[in-house]
Every structure is written in structure tokens, then in C-alpha cells.
Amino acid sequence: MRISQLAHKAGNAGSGNSWVSYHSTDTNGRKTLDVWHYGHNMLSVTFKDDGSPDLSTLYLSVGWGSVSDQGGMNQILRELRLPYYYSRQGGAEYLTIVGTE
């Protein structure tokens, strides 16, 4: 499985299956995605009824700040169409992409 596919399907990906995603549904029918990399919860988000991510529930972590953290998270962020970019330039952080929907 590719790392980007973890956004839509529970499973493992990456070198040594270092990336793991969990998909769940709560008692109200709201779907949640959690993505982990080497024991760090890198992303957690709940989805709205229309299937779009609810940004008010979005949790992002920089993990260890590694190249693999950056590469994997940017794949997942693009796949979910989230307006963020994981940057390591000058220290690990998430930047908001201006002009995205």
C-alpha cells in the first residue's frame, strides 16, 4: 500500500510498514482518521457528513521532524486536500498553503 492510500484505507505502508492508519466511526456516524508513524500520532481528523475533513477537529504533529515524517505527511495532506504543507526548512512545522480551497 502507498502512504497516500492510508488517507482512505486502514493499513500499513512505507519502509517496514512504519506508517499505519486507523479509520473508525463513532456512535453518531462520524468517521475519524488517525495516522501514525513510528509510534507518533501524526494526524487525527474527523470528517463532515459530506466527506470533507472537519478542520476544527484536525490534529497535526511534526513527529521527530524527519525527512520521512515530512514526505509521508505531505502525501497524506495532498490526498486529503488539506491546505497545509509540512516544512523542515528552519525547523519542522506546518505551513498554511495560501489560495487553496
**Do 33 and 7 meet the contact criterion of CB atoms below 8 Å apart?**
yes
Q: Which of 75, 73, 97, 99 is nearest to 86 (CA)?
A: 73
Summarize the confidence of residues 71-94 as an average pLDDT. 96
- Specify the pLDDT at position 98: 80
Please, which pLDDT band fits residue 2 given cuts at 50, 70 and 90?
very high
List pLDDT tens digits, range 30-66: 999 999 999 999 999 999 999 999 999 999 999 999 9
Rounded to whole angstroms, how far apart are CA atoms 68 and 72?
6
Instruction: Categorise residue 90: left if φ over 0, alpha if ψ from -120 to 50, beta otherwise.
Output: left
- Specify the pLDDT at position 53: 96
- Specify the pLDDT at position 100: 52
Burial of 56 per CB tally in 10 Å (0-12, 13-18, 19+): exposed
- Specify the pLDDT at position 76: 98
